[in-house]
Structures are given as structure tokens and as C-alpha cells.
Amino acid sequence: MSQTSVNAPTGPQAEYQAFLDEGRFMLQLSPSTGRHVFYPRVLVPGSGETDLQWVPASGLGTLYAITVNRSRAGSYNIALVDLDEGPRMMSRIVDRETAPIGCRLQAHIAELDGVKAVVFRQIDQVQP
């Protein structure tokens, strides 16, 4: 578990995890460009603006790609989710083995191996 407080002077990576530990899924937003950034960084990738501030994520996204890792110990999926704010993140769909690409998803915060992480649940069928 992270010992970092959100108030301590730490980098964006530690701040992101500290928010998760408090039960909040936060994204960085650069007001001057209107761009959201994930994973959290100290600059907007590609253009370098540093006016990044934390904003709550809508938690909504669309499934971009998915695989199910299989082994004798069991199976679990690895998903890439396009957040409604723009960035893509790796995650898991937790309420089923797999899901159709294109389906809508809702974020939740769960504990994976003792670490708070953003996971998703499917909220509707594939968009027509």
C-alpha cells in the first residue's frame, strides 16, 4: 500500500495511486489544450504543456481490445479501455470472463493483489 498523502509533494504517479487509495479515480487535465492525460505524467506528451490538474474521471469507457490469459491456475482477462475523456488504459472486466469489443463500461475501484486499481464492469451491449 502506498504511504503517500495527496498533500505531500510527490510526482503524478504517486498522486494517482494516493487518490485510488482514497477511493477516487482521478485523471489529469490540461486546461490550455483541453486534453486529458493518462497514464499520469509531468507534461502533456507530444506538446509539453505543464498545466496539468487533477479532475474526477467520468468512469465511462468503451472496450477497445481484450484477451483472456489462461493457465492451469485459472483465467482472467486483460482489457484496453478507451475512456470517454480520450486516453486509453489497461484494466480488467471483473464481472465476466470476457466482453465484446465496443461495449460500454463503468469504472470501479477494486483491490488487486493488495493494490487499489481501476477495473470495469460492462453496462450495456455492443453499440449498433
Partner 1 sequence: MSGSLRGQTAIIGIGQAGVGIATGYSALELLGQATISALKDAGVQLSEIDGLFAASSSHAFPTLSVAEYLGIRPTFFDGTNVGGSSFQMHLLQASLALQAGLCNVALICYGSNQSSAGKRLVSMSEAQWHETPYQPRHPISAYALAASRHMHQYGTTREMLAEVAVSARHWANLNPQACARGPLSIDQVMSARMLSDPLSTADCCLVTDGGGACIMVRAERAGDSSKNPVYFLGAAGAQWHRSIVAMPDLTVTAASESGPRAMKMAGITHADIDLVMLYDAFTINTLLFLEDLGFCPKGEGGRFVQNGRIAPGGELAVNTNGGGLSCMHPGMYGMFLIIEAVQQIRGDAGERQLPKVDIALLHGNGGTLSSQVTAILGSAVTL
Using rule CB under 8 A, residue 5 touches partner 1: no
Q: Given the rule CB under 8 A, which of 4-12, 24-32, 50-58, 60-68 is the region that contacts partner 1?
A: 60-68
Query: Contact region for partner 1 (CB under 8 A) — 3-11, 26-34, 47-55, 58-66?
Result: 58-66
Q: Which residues pair with 55 in a beta bridge?
A: 27
Residue in 10, 33, 98, 106 binding partner 1, rule: CB under 8 A: 98
Interface residues with partner 1 (CB under 8 A) are 13, 38-39, 64-71, 76, 78, 80, 88-92, 98, 101-102, 112-113, 115, 117
